[in-house]
Structure 1
Amino acid sequence: MDLAEARALFSPDPGWLNTASYGLPPSTAWTQLQAALDEWRHGRVSWEGWGESTARARTAFARLVHAAEEDVTTGAQVSQLVAQLAASVPDGTVVLAPEEDFTSLLFPWLAQRHRGVVVRTAPAAGLAAAITPEVDVVAFSLVQSASGAVADAAAVVAAAQAAGASTVVDATQAVGWLPVDARRYDALVAGGYKWQLSPRGTAFLVTTAQLRSRVVPSQAGWWAGEDPFGSYYGPPLRLARDARRLDLSPAWFSWVGAAPALELLASVGVDAVHDWNVGLANRFLDGLGLAPGDSAIVSVDVPGAQERLAAAGVRAAVRGGRLRASFHLYTTQADVDLAVEALTS
């Protein structure tokens, strides 16, 4: 499917520039979700068909981030997945993270303070230089939520490897528009409800087999079993041999909506989406007389921006006292020009 065909599957009201808060579903996802809800309402079917959507979503996500399916765990939220990693590191582990990073990545590590886990912070732009030999884990976002700044991942990974530290990357604001290769990191986590166009309550974790062997499956239930349908009752513990051992039992309808959305992105290709999104972001910056950037998320300081955009029917966000606008494959040039006109007139 090409970009134009994909864009035809959306019907946003004009002026939606806030995908960094939540993404909009393609008609394929909306239709399949409504059908499942109608089945639920009337009790027409058993649940197994809804559950199969999780496997479809796992397959499509693996394609998006160049991962093997057996390395992909499904969950509900970034913090829920990171918490399993944080709870499994040894006492006294030293974690380094950007001081301005989103708390869903930071809080799980900070919550381990009672057993001596130390969290150090540094500005995101200087993270690589702050990695010292005593650092055990480097946790950072590929794209910063508030500013849209894209991390110098290559520099951070190189410095972490030199120090013998593991890397845990939050790609929530990246997967779906920015080319991402999960194989570069020890762990990559991403929430699905933004750039992946999925319902809230969907998230993924990609881990290496080596890191995964050290993670305690503290949230394991029947769905994490080697044979979920043979794991309903009783001991012994019989978990999946791959990343499914860390799976959380799926919220069915969230995954019914996620599968077609992720399949659409995988079909179109992230490179095409990236070029469209960054092109619109730079059209916006140019309209404000600012230099172009490399992100689909733009942070600008314009007095009264939120009120001026709201009066024009444009929906964006304010983060850190600055206007945050974000552009995805359903955004139009008219949306961009509407926002520019509101901010410059």
Structure 2
Amino acid sequence: MDIEQAQKLWQPKPGWLNTASYGLPPEPTWTAVQEAMTGWRAGSTSWEGWGESVNRARTAFAGLIGVPGADVAVGVTVSQMLAPVAAALPAGATVVVPEVEFTSNLFPWLVQEERGVTVRTVPAEGLAEAIDADTDLVAFSLVQSADGSVAAYDEIVAAARAHDALVVVDATQACGWLPFDGSRADVVVVGGYKWLMNPRGTAYAYLAPALRDRMRPDAAGWYAGRDPHASYYGPPLRLADDARRFDISPAWFSWVGAAPALEVVAEIGVPAIQAHDVALANRFLTGLGRPPGESAIVTVAVPGAEERLAAAGIRAAVRAGRVRASFHVYSTEADVDEALTALTG
């Protein structure tokens, strides 16, 4: 499926340039959720069918980042998925994080300081160089929420491996438009409601097997069981042998929508989406006299930008006085040009 064909699966109101806040559902996602809600309202179906969507989504996500499905846990939010990783750090461990990191990938480490974990923040552009013999774990966003900058993934991983440090990647603002090899990290966490266009309430975590052995599934419930449907009542503890032991019981309707959205992304292909998204971002930058970049998220300072965009019906974010525009598969050149007219007219 090429981009032109794929765009027929969406019905956005023109001017949506804010996927970095939330993505828009393709038609298969919208339809699946409506059908599930209708069945819920009437009590005409069993929940097990909704639950099957979780493993469809797990498999599709694993394929997007190049890891085995057995190494992927599912949950609700990025910070919730990171909590057992942070709790597994030994007292006295040192974590290195960029200075301007989204707090879902910062607070889980900071709350461990009371038991002796040290969190050291450094400039994002110097992250690889800041990893040293005292570093136990480095955590960073593959694409920064604040400005769309793309991390030097290869250099950071190489520096971490040279010092036997763990690598934790928040790919929430990358997965779905930026191809990358998730297996090179120890942990990859993704909130599904942005570039993967899932309903909110879905999150994914690749957990490398060696790291999982050091983690405790403190939130384990029936869904973390070896056979969830045989784990409803009573002892003994019988958890899954793979990453599923860190699963959280799913919010059914979010996952009903997640599976078809991920499958659409896989069918289009992330490299094709990247080419489309970045081309639109660069059209926007060029129109404002800025040099091109490599990200689907861009930020620019334009006087009165928030008011100008609002007046033109363009929906983008404003962060620290700068316009943050983000472009995805359903974005068009017309969307870009309307935004440029609003900002330069």
Q: Structure 1-normalised TM-score?
A: 0.99
Secondary structure of the structure 2 residue equivalent to 1:138: strand
Partner of 2:269: 269
Aligned partner of 1:5 in structure 2 is 5
Q: Identity of aligned pairs, percent?
A: 63
Q: CA deviation at 1:73?
A: 0.6
In the alignment, is residue 235 of structure 1 matched against residue 229 of structure 2?
Answer: no
Counterpart check, 1:38 vs 2:38? yes
**Structure 1 counterpart SS, 2:255:** helix
Deviation of the 1:93 alpha carbon: 1.1
1:192-231 maps to which residues of 2 (within 5 A)? 192-231=192-231
Q: How many residues align?
A: 345
For residues 76-102 of structure 1, the C-alpha deviation after alignment (integer angstroms, 9 at most, x for no partner) is 000000111101111111100001000
SS in 1 for 2:56: helix
SS where residue 337 of structure 2 aligns?
Answer: helix
Aligned twin of 1:256: 256
1:179 has 2:179 as partner? yes
**Other structure's SS at 2:9 match:** coil
Aligned to 2:342: 342
Matches within 5 A, 1:289-300: 289-300=289-300
1:240 to partner: Cα distance:
0.6
Unaligned runs of 5+ in 1: none
Give 1:121's aligned residue: 121
Q: Which residue number corresponds to residue 24 of structure 1?
A: 24
Q: CA deviation at 1:335?
A: 0.3
User: Aligned partners of 1:309 and 1:321: how far apart in 2?
Assistant: 13
In the TM superposition, what are the counterparts of 1:52-67 in structure 2 within 5 Å? 52-67=52-67
How far apart are the structure 1 equivalents of 2:161 and 2:135? 11
28-37 vs 317-326, which deviates more? 317-326
Aligned to 2:168: 168
Letter in 2 for 1:257: G
Secondary structure of 2:74 counterpart: strand
Give SS of 2:33's match: helix
CA distance in 1, matches of 2:212, 2:102: 24
CA distance in structure 2 between the aligned counterparts of 1:320 and 1:173, rounded to whole angstroms: 18
- Residue of structure 1 in register with 2:112 after alignment: 112
Q: Secondary structure at the match of 1:158?
A: helix
Q: Which deviates further from its counterpart, 35-44 or 2-11? A: 2-11
CA RMSD of aligned residues (A): 0.7
Q: Matched residues in 2 for 1:87 and 1:305: separation?
A: 42
- Give 1:247 deviation, angstroms: 0.5
Match of 1:8, SS state, is helix
Aligned to 2:133: 133
Q: Equivalent residue of 1:281, what SS?
A: helix
| Counterpart residue identity of residue 292, structure 1 | P
Residue matched to 1:331? 331
Q: Which SS does the other structure have where 2:215 is aligned?
A: coil
Cα deviation, 1:201-233, whole Å, max 9, x if unaligned, reads 000000110011111101111101110000001
Alpha-carbon shift at residue 320 of structure 1 (Å): 2.7
Cα distance in 1, alignment partners of residues 129 and 21 from structure 2 = 30
Displacement of 1:131 = 0.8
AA aligned to 2:153 is A
What amino acid maps onto 1:328 in structure 2? H
Q: In 1, distance between residues paired with 2:69 and 2:3?
A: 26
Residues of 2 paired with 1:228 and 1:321: CA distance? Answer: 48
Partner deviation per Cα, 1:283-340 (whole Å, 9 max, x = no partner): 0001101100000000111111111011000000011321100000000110000000
Deviations 1:255-285 (A, max 9, x none): 0011100000011110000000000000000
Partner Cα separation in structure 2 for residue 163 and residue 306 of structure 1: 45
Please state if 1:145 is matched with 2:145. Answer: yes
* Whole-angstrom distance in 2 between the partners of 1:226 and 1:171: 28
State the Cα distance separating 1:236 from its structure 2 match.
1.1
Q: 1:105 & 1:175 partners in 2: Cα distance?
A: 16
Letter in 2 for 1:88: A
- Secondary structure in 2 matching 1:264: helix
Q: Secondary structure at the match of 2:106?
A: helix
Q: Which amino acid aligns with 1:54?
A: V
Q: CA deviation at 1:125?
A: 0.7
Greater shift, 313-322 or 246-255, is seen at 313-322
Note the C-alpha offset of 1:244. 0.5
